[in-house]
Amino acid sequence: MRKIALITGATAGIGEATARLLAEKGYDLIITGRREERLAKLKEEIENATPARVHTLRFDVRDRRAVEEALDSLPEAWQAIDVLVNNAGLAVGLSRIYEGEIDDWEQMIDTNIKGLLYVSRKVLPGMVERRRGHVINISSTAGKEVYMNGNVYCATKFAVDALNKAMRLELVDHGVKVTSVNPGFVETEFSLVRFKGDTEKAKQVYAGMEPLHAQDIAEVIWFVLSRPEHVNINEIIVTPKAQANAYYIHREGQ
């Protein structure tokens, strides 16, 4: 029987690459995000290119009711979710904490922590009932070490790290695996979002080094999922070759 993976934030970057790869590997997909046209386009492309079936759910993870309604709306054939990839997330702004934009903080906290919790709260009971499943939480090197001006974004990813550990503790006796994938710099729409559409600033983040590509993380997620049933990868940190940790990056010519 084909497995079902629900991927949040599949309209761009890591989520989109993961959706495409898991479809190739034999999963049916529930893809979510706020941008409906992108969801529809991705569904069409994946269904044309692979045997996968794709169900789209448009919602904002910050909106608790919308999350609940969307997941309650799943037809019966889509309810037995085998894999949850908690990927939707973002950084907004990069400034010292005493100069930070409080609206930006709220957006990060509401998306990266509360949104992840709302989705998990709806999906986990089914996994517990069926005594199988795998949750992959996308945290970050920013959830392992704090870097200058990263403050609240880092705090949200430290929270994801803590929730990942909590989930593993509380699901281990229910046959559900839990893994965190912690990437360093990945060139996606992430920096464009962080710098509120400033393409020049976004480009500078990756100057003089080769960042990871979304596909690199999709392949790590596939590696995690394709281990034998008795094996659980607890967490995995993956950076570009030029990145030593969350804040030390070697740039050519600098």
Choose, by CB under 6 A, the member of 140, 151, 239, 243 that binds ligand NDP. 140
Choices 21-29, 40-48, 116-124, 138-146; region in contact with ligand 8X3 by CB under 6 A: 138-146
CB neighbour list of residue 80: distance below 8 Å, 6 or more residues apart: 4, 126, 130
How far, in Å, are 42, 115, 164 from residue 194 at the CA level? 24, 18, 24
DSSP letter for each residue of 47-63: HHHSS--EEEEE--TT-
Known catalytic residue at 27: no
- In the region spanning residues 74 to 133, those forming contacts with ligand NDP, defined by CB under 6 A, are 87-90, 111, 115
Q: Which of 27, 118, 153, 206 is catalytic?
A: 153
Residue 23 or 91: which CB sits closer to ligand 8X3?
91
SS3 call for 176: strand
Helix axes 116-130, 151-171, angle to 10 degrees: 10
Nearest approach, Cβ of residue 21 and ligand 8X3 (Å):
20
CA–CA dist 111, 190 (Å, integer): 14
Choices 10-18, 48-56, 165-173, 196-204; region in contact with ligand NDP by CB under 6 A: 10-18
Strand pairing partners for 85?
Answer: 7, 136
Choose, by CB under 6 A, the member of 11, 141, 180, 188 that binds ligand 8X3. 141
Residues carrying an active site annotation: 153
* Residues near ligand NDP, by CB under 6 A: 9-15, 33-35, 60-62, 87-90, 111, 115, 138, 140, 183, 185-186, 188-190, 193
* Residues near ligand 8X3, by CB under 6 A: 140-142, 150, 184-185, 246
